Structure 1
Amino acid sequence: MTKLKTAIEIRQLKKIHSIAGIGYWVYNYSTKNFWWSEVTHNILGYQPGGVTPSRETLKKHIHPEDLVFFEESLKQMQLQAMEIEFRFYKNGELRLGKITGEVYEKEDIIEEVLFQDITDIKIKEFEIAKAWNKALEAENLKNAFLANMSHELRTPLNSIIGFSELLETGNISENIPRYASSIKDSGLQLLKIIEDLLKVSMLESRTAKPVKRNFNLPNMMLEVKDLTNRLLKNSNKEHLNLNFQSTSSHLVIKSDQNKILGILKNLLHNAIKFTKEGTISCTYQIKNQAIEFSVSDTGKGIPIECQTSVFQRFRQADTNGLNNFGGTGLGLYISRLEIELLGGKIWIASEEKVGTTVKFSIPNVIDHELIRDLDPNPEIYNWENYTVLIAEDQFTNYKILEAYLQPTNVNIIWAKTGREAISASLQNPEINLILMDINMPHTNGLEATKLIKETRPNLTIIAQTAYALEGDREKSLKAGCSEHLSKPFNKTDLLLAMSKYLP
């Protein structure tokens, strides 16, 4: 019975070792006899019984650089239990092994060792550690972004609320223009943050699409230069030298002008932000059918280890916040996505304390079929013989539009809902143009536009709405609107759009 129990236990132990992939060997120091289990044969790449176990055979499998360590560990095992990891070969493939063993001295000196191939375990541990580090990095990045975003949002909000309270409560008539200017600047700062977040959402979801058309490149560069001069003034860095390329005024390319304009503005904003002294340069050159832009500065530079990561979202070279440069860490990420959307690429060359050059190229921009768009931009409009219906449910938005239009002497009718807009357009045939808000109670602006167009198909309707996502413009035009202005828009944009239909 005892022999049967022992046989069963041995069989179960062999099964456990086989399932766990744990080999076993016994070495008798007195007789020099060496025995390997079946799993040990398999770990070393042999069929059971396919080789005679010996120290020499075992050593042939140990990596040469680990052999001395392996032999010394076996000697130390005679003094105390040992657990070591080492490299070995199985059928020519390098693997990682682990032995756990000790030496017993009774009638003979016996070495008993458990032997395991831990290669796959280590790989999984590495992958888990890598995934954990990645998750930890993402968590830290998220926390840093939220903390930074809180700062970026609260700063302009503090200015808007503070100056608004001053305007509301005090006798400060002499300071009104200055306070109003601060409120406007802070509002634009908030708008930039919101627009960046919306851009990221659209670009990552692949819903954004480029709008390519022919445009005059030198004219666009003049606009970029004007923007840059304003950035220098607002940053109190008018002492920096500005180097802009000047070329033929007849160079026309075909691409998405608004996206290129935004990319250049963002790169120049960064150049100004990180430059205290020296020069900001912006140049371009045509290479075959592509255009390559270059923005250079003599600023603080970017550490080499950050020059790739700055094109990822929420990444900034100044991660500790000690230099107080601000920003959301989205600018270069958005630029990269928009450049890739146009089929181009962006790259960077930078040296700390020397400066940075960012270049990007966009292919297939040469198209000789020129589009000559009229660009009426008179400084003064006189529309005293015209009537405009403003369909807007928000009183403050209506008052802004009324203030914008007041210098033009145009006659204004106000409709607070979509139904009122429909009724007013039918009852007042003198209405020449409608500024139609989209999100209104009862009947929204798109539905109102469709109904108005059924009876007055030639009446000009301009959508003015806070809906600014990809496809919203197309919805407005499909409903019958002639133009689509995304809020917030400025006075110049509004008057320019209206001037196309009110001579």
Structure 2
Amino acid sequence: MRARGLLKSARTLKKSDRLKTEFLANMSHEIRTPMNSILGFSQLLYRDLPASKKIQYVNRINDNGLYLIKLIDDIIDVAKIEADQVEIEKSWFDLKELLDEMLIQVTQYAESHGKQHLSIRFDMDECMHHLYSDRFRVRQILTNLLQNAIKFTKDGTVSFGCTCLDKHWLFYVKDTGVGIQREYLNEIFDRFRKINPADGNLYRGTGIGLAISKTLVELLSGNIYVESEPDKGSKFTFKLPIESSQSGFSSLNDNPNGFSFPTGTKKTILVAEDEEDSYLFFKDLLEIEGFETIHARNGKEAVEIFKSRNDINLVLMDLVMPVMNGFEALVQIKAINRKIPVIAQTANAMNTDEEKCRNAGFDSYIAKPVKKDLLLIKINAFLHIE
């Protein structure tokens, strides 16, 4: 009996090692393919080309860069799952607001992947709008499921939403795509297991998104399951408990201090950033939008500049800088004027980093690589710009 158990364990380990080897080989392919596009189109941009062609190449570079960021995030999550180090940070948040964001995100994702013709539908019960859970992780789960739905749906509809059912939130993502063969349904959530869809075509991806989603759902005290039929589509459903918390609902509002801004038509933003390329990106972006920028190369310089000027409307603060880091600089700047809005920006984009920044006293947070539209939304909210 014991021998059979050992033999079964050995076979399981052997299968796990084989899947990891296949995963690493596939990962190499998944990294090199977008890098080939990024470097290739970058080289083509040096040529004398029509503006329309250059825009096309820039869009390809951007899409492949975003794909690599998602890939890196997934690899980090897998490593943390393997080490049993995934952290869950629960708080009250507006679920309707999150799902509205997801609708915008998934529509843009479909358009950027040439699937403007897909019908994207969203539905939500009106039972209540606030959920006590980990907002970052709920968003991550929905993102994985929705991006998969779009990837495997050529025509038809992708729909998602949630409803209240027996003390649970019931989320779903449904598509009219290629579907999954029945024999693979029990393996689809396995780590390092990439399942080919029913149409037999090869699709981009590592196959770890569903495994990550399953782990996250379980860490949130829920469960996830799938229904699928070849050529008809798939439906992924996950349940999360409706929890109560003695802390009650609290919302992290942008501009909570009611800061009174200096008068004048042109707003001035102090950018504390030690990386020259990052600063040039912020400078060009913000000046195109009509802002004036001041550059500080470290936290100490940011504090000195802030002391010497009274026309600064907002501070964009990198966290990791020489001489003085962003957290230390924040303390000194808030001591001078506690109402000045300070937005943290960092490449350390773990889900706990935002909470750390909030607790330290930052008014908002944005992760690198910075998304232009999201940054401008945050800045305009603080500066009351429509």
State the TM-score, normalizing by the size of structure 1.
Answer: 0.66
Q: 1:404: which partner in 2?
A: 285
Query: Whose relative contact order is higher, 1 or 2, with alpha carbons under 8 Å and at least 6 apart?
Result: 2
Q: Contact 2:179 / 2:197 at 8 angstroms: preserved in 1? A: no
Q: 1:289: which partner in 2?
A: 167
Q: Which amino acid aligns with 2:129?
A: V
The percent of aligned pairs where both chains have the same amino acid is 34
RMSD between superposed Cα atoms in Å: 3.1
Aligned partners of 1:153 and 1:492: how far apart in 2?
26
Q: 2:129: which partner in 1?
A: 252
3-state SS of the aligned residue for 1:268? helix
Structure 1 residues 218-255: Cα deviation after superposition (integer angstroms, max 9, x where no partner): x544443333333433344445454543655x841313
Structure 1 residues 9-56: Cα deviation after superposition (integer angstroms, max 9, x where no partner): xxxxxxxxxxxxxxxxxxxxxxxxxxxxxxxxxxxxxxxxxxxxxxxx
Q: 2:368: which partner in 1?
A: 487
- Report whether the alignment pairs 1:439 with 2:298: no
Q: 1:353 to 1:172 in 2, by over 3 A?
A: closer
The partner residue of 2:295 within 396, 414, 417 is 414
Aligned partners of 1:314 and 1:327: how far apart in 2?
11
- Report whether the alignment pairs 1:467 with 2:345: no
Aligned partners of 1:399 and 1:232: how far apart in 2?
30
Q: Contact 1:389 / 1:413 at 8 angstroms: preserved in 2? A: yes
The partner residue of 1:185 within 40, 51, 63 is 63
Q: 1:329: which partner in 2?
A: 207
The partner residue of 2:78 within 200, 205, 212 is 200
Structure 1 residues 377-432: Cα deviation after superposition (integer angstroms, max 9, x where no partner): xxxxx974432211111111111111221144332211122332232222223323
The partner residue of 1:497 within 375, 378, 384 is 378
Q: Unaligned regions of 5+ residues in structure 2, if any? A: 256-262
Deviation at 1:168, TM superposition (A): 3.0
Aligned partners of 1:452 and 1:475: how far apart in 2?
18
Q: Contact 1:336 / 1:346 at 8 angstroms: preserved in 2? A: yes
The partner residue of 2:239 within 355, 361, 364 is 361
The partner residue of 1:348 within 226, 242, 247 is 226
Q: 1:156: which partner in 2?
A: 34
Q: 1:237 to 1:390 in 2, by over 3 A?
A: closer
Q: Which stretch shows the higher mean deviation, 437-446 or 320-329?
A: 320-329
Aligned partners of 2:159 and 2:354: how far apart in 1?
35
Q: 1:451 to 1:151 in 2, by over 3 A?
A: same
Q: How many residues align?
A: 373
Aligned partners of 2:267 and 2:113: how far apart in 1?
42
Q: 1:215: which partner in 2?
A: 94
Aligned partners of 1:339 and 1:321: how far apart in 2?
28
Q: 1:399 to 1:325 in 2, by over 3 A?
A: same
Q: Contact 1:290 / 1:362 at 8 angstroms: preserved in 2? A: yes
Deviation at 1:283, TM superposition (A): 4.2
3-state SS of the aligned residue for 1:323? coil
Q: Which amino acid aligns with 1:412?
A: T
Q: 1:134 to 1:373 in 2, by over 3 A?
A: closer
Q: Contact 1:207 / 1:470 at 8 angstroms: preserved in 2? A: no
Structure 1 residues 159-187: Cα deviation after superposition (integer angstroms, max 9, x where no partner): 11111112234445442222211111111
Q: Which amino acid aligns with 1:178?
A: Q
Q: 1:317: which partner in 2?
A: 195
Q: 1:306 to 1:443 in 2, by over 3 A?
A: same
Aligned partners of 2:236 and 2:63: how far apart in 1?
27
The partner residue of 2:146 within 268, 272, 280 is 268
Q: Which amino acid aligns with 1:332?
A: L
Q: 1:230 to 1:323 in 2, by over 3 A?
A: same
Deviation at 1:203, TM superposition (A): 4.8
3-state SS of the aligned residue for 1:440? coil
Structure 2 matches for 1:57-72, cutoff 5 A? none
Structure 1 residues 433-470: Cα deviation after superposition (integer angstroms, max 9, x where no partner): 22111122222222232343444444432211111124
Q: 1:390: which partner in 2?
A: 271
Q: 1:144: which partner in 2?
A: 22
Aligned partners of 2:98 and 2:351: how far apart in 1?
23
Structure 1 residues 321-372: Cα deviation after superposition (integer angstroms, max 9, x where no partner): 96211211111112112222222110112233443221111111689x7767
Deviation at 1:278, TM superposition (A): 4.3
3-state SS of the aligned residue for 2:204? coil
Q: 1:94: which partner in 2?
A: none
3-state SS of the aligned residue for 1:142? helix
Structure 1 residues 261-288: Cα deviation after superposition (integer angstroms, max 9, x where no partner): 3322322222232234444333432113
- Report whether the alignment pairs 1:452 with 2:330: no
Structure 2 matches for 1:71-86, cutoff 5 A? none
Q: Unaligned regions of 5+ residues in structure 1, if any? A: 1-119, 377-381
Q: 1:243 to 1:459 in 2, by over 3 A?
A: closer
Q: 1:420 to 1:202 in 2, by over 3 A?
A: same
Q: Contact 1:291 / 1:365 at 8 angstroms: preserved in 2? A: no
Q: Contact 1:392 / 1:436 at 8 angstroms: preserved in 2? A: yes
3-state SS of the aligned residue for 2:45? helix
Q: Contact 1:384 / 1:409 at 8 angstroms: preserved in 2? A: no
